[in-house]
Amino acid sequence: MKNRKAAFILLVSIVFSTSTVLAQEVKQDVAFLESLRTEVHPDRDKPEVPDDITFKLNVIYGSADGRDLTADIFTPVKTPENPRPAIVFLHGGSWMFGDPSQFHYHAGYLASRYGFFAMSVDYRLSGEAQFPAALQDAKCAVRWVRSKAEEYNIDPERIVIAGGSAGGHLSSMMLTTAGIPEYEGSSGQSEYSSHVNLGVLFNGEFDMWDLVEKGSLIGAMEQFMGGKPDEIPGVYSDLSSVHRIHQYVPPVLLLHGMVDNCVSHDQSIAFYNRLNAVGGHAEIALYNDNPRAWFNREPDRTITVERMERFLVEQLHLPPVEEEQSEKELMKLSSWDRGISIHSPTDETSFAHLWFYEWHLFDAVLEGEHTHGSHDWEWTVSPDGAKAEMNAEWLSMTMNATDNGADVLLKITNASGHDWPEIAAIIPCFNPGHEDVVKVNPLFLDEEHDDTYFLGESGLELIKGEAPREIHFNQDMLPAIMDWEKESDEDDFVFSFKWPTSERNAEAGLLIRESDDKKLVMGIAWDSYISVQGHNPWHCMHLSVRVGPLMQGETKTIHGKI
């Protein structure tokens, strides 16, 4: 739980260099002008970095078309003793303007806090060389980093690619085109691999045909690709990274402002859904009131850097940073008959409860109907209330308190004796309590669902529909659910048999509720989901967490946030 403004956030000066003239020659649609207005590229010669960081500008990492390729390097003054991760940043600017300064702050931040070897690349822009030059430069940069592993004490299997806008697109291509010879180029270090291990994508372009349909960045795309869509349709398809996604794409964090007039946040949602659907790992953070390139301006720069930081810490297993004593107190965790309660140590109005209502959704996880949380799980809570754990034969869950809720790590192992389909799911119930079982928070009772929201196509939408307890599906999963129903007995316990189905799409695994006095918000989010729904009589927020597909004996990790 947190204050209302912060929760709804959750869930112009530009340096053009030689690209100004190029911009004047390109068709300037509304989206392109928005990109020019919002992209921020500070003074490259004066990086904003902490005092414990050393940097080198214009470091040569390769050579192409008779000129040097350069990048800016950031690393701690004292090289870490253990091999450390590296991150390669690719700036934005519609593929035709911008420079590495856009990510100087991010590079310095990660180098200072975790010892990263951080690199921000000055790739060739479209006015100099068309695709695939920029992608080849990015791949050369990663090969160069890997070639320097011994010299700079870099772990060559912990290299992250990150970028914003056009750099987000190029980063997505790095993630989805490993091993394709024509994209490697011949700029140097060909004996090393260009594969990356993680991706962080800020408001990237992942579907060129969606941009064509919306009339967005048309001139910029034509210059970058070398032709109009009807002249070279294959190139537009090749550059639509969302259609290149496969199960071996590395884990990805996507961040997107929902008032982006250049590239719709729907593109990030589509990338997120598709990668999770094939069994990959994707996380998404959508920012309700934020425009293009919002991540370069405070306070959003700090908010998004911290979200990136959490993803990198979890995925790279980075050691915790010793923080100065914070004035904010952690929430406290405690156990009750069916699950875990989360409450503030100082505000008696801030508390809620979590339990698992269904273990057998679609009869795919275990045989039988729903359990009403009747499994006899044993919870262990640390003496200080900062951590809670639950372990069983096929499931374990860890919760760590934060200053406004808790981070949740769910590990599912298929010990059922049969493979689970992609629609296999379980349902955690986040609720204000029930008088017969656990303490009730009257501020968050919402029997009519007038204060409960999910993320729909137009942003945060009331979950209340035309029918009571209407269920909102991730529409990408609906065909598989319908196919399953056709083959199942009507007596099977299936959500879409039991409750009316909404036609509105659930764009992400997110539910939030305002308190009656509009001062607080409680919410739950998961990075893999099938549907969202308001529920009674517990005034629950139900978010079905997709755990399939999962073969027998395999384990999957899913992240949640309260």
Contact by Cβ (8 Å): 332, 385: yes
The residue from 316, 351, 378 where one domain ends is 316
Picking from 56, 295, 52, the residue whose alpha carbon sits closest to that of residue 163 is 295
**What is the spatial distance between Cα 562 and Cα 543, in angstroms, rounded to a whole number?**
12
3-state secondary structure 488-518: CCCCCCCHHHHCCECCCCCCCCEEEEECCCC
Residue 525 domain flag: yes
Tokens of 203: 């408001």
Please check whether residues 118 and 173 belong to one and the same domain: yes
Residue 342 domain flag: yes
In the block, residue with structure tokens 């298929």: 414
**What is the spatial distance between Cα 390 and Cα 162, in angstroms, rounded to a whole number?**
34
The residue from 285, 316, 347 where one domain ends is 316
How many other C-beta atoms lie within 10 A of the C-beta of residue 15?
17
Please check whether residues 205 and 296 belong to one and the same domain: yes
Q: Provide the 3-class DSSP secondary structure of residue 302.
A: helix
Please check whether residues 275 and 389 belong to one and the same domain: no
Name the DSSP letter for residue 437. T
Please check whether residues 309 and 446 belong to one and the same domain: no
Residue 326 domain flag: no
Residue 82 domain flag: yes
pLDDT, residue 170, reads 97
Handedness of CA 350, 356, 357, 362 (dihedral sign): positive
Residue 327 domain flag: no
pLDDT means over runs of 10, the chain (562 residues): 38 28 45 57 80 94 94 94 95 89 94 96 93 96 96 96 95 96 93 96 94 89 93 95 95 89 88 92 84 78 91 91 65 84 86 69 44 58 89 80 86 77 80 82 83 83 78 81 63 54 84 84 85 77 81 82 88
Please check whether residues 365 and 497 belong to one and the same domain: yes
CB-neighbour burial class of residue 346 (10 A; exposed 0-12, middle 13-18, buried 19+): exposed
3-state secondary structure 215-250: CCCHHHHHHHHCCCCCCCHHHHHHCCHHHHCCCCCC
Please check whether residues 305 and 406 belong to one and the same domain: no
Residue 15 domain flag: no
Please check whether residues 541 and 472 belong to one and the same domain: yes
Tokens of 227: 């032709």
Please check whether residues 59 and 174 belong to one and the same domain: yes
Please check whether residues 308 and 340 belong to one and the same domain: no
Picking from 528, 562, 524, the residue whose alpha carbon sits closest to that of residue 545 is 528
Please check whether residues 312 and 461 belong to one and the same domain: no
pLDDT, residue 118, reads 97
Please check whether residues 308 and 370 belong to one and the same domain: no
Please check whether residues 67 and 102 belong to one and the same domain: yes
**What is the spatial distance between Cα 237 and Cα 207, in angstroms, rounded to a whole number?**
8
pLDDT, residue 538, reads 74
Query: What element of type H or E holds 541?
Result: strand 540-546
Cα–chain-centroid distance for residue 77? 31
Residue 365 domain flag: yes
Q: Provide the 3-class DSSP secondary structure of residue 309.
A: helix
How many domains does the chain contain in total?
2
State the CATH number of the domain containing residue 301. 3.40.50.1820
β-sheet bridge partners, residue 202: 164, 255
pLDDT, residue 351, reads 83
**What is the spatial distance between Cα 392 and Cα 427, in angstroms, rounded to a whole number?**
17
Contact by Cβ (8 Å): 535, 449: no
CB-neighbour burial class of residue 237 (10 A; exposed 0-12, middle 13-18, buried 19+): middle
Handedness of CA 306, 310, 312, 313 (dihedral sign): positive
pLDDT, residue 37, reads 54
pLDDT, residue 487, reads 61
The residue from 267, 286, 316 where one domain ends is 316
State the CATH number of the domain containing residue 439. 2.70.98
Residue 16 domain flag: no
Q: How far is CA 145 from CA 87, 98, 140, 269, 524, in A?
A: 9, 22, 9, 31, 39
Radius of gyration of the chain (CA): 24
Four-point Cα dihedral 516, 521, 524, 527, nearest 10: 140
Domain boundaries, position 129? 24-316
Q: Is the peptide bond before 132 cis (omega within 30 degrees of 0)?
A: yes
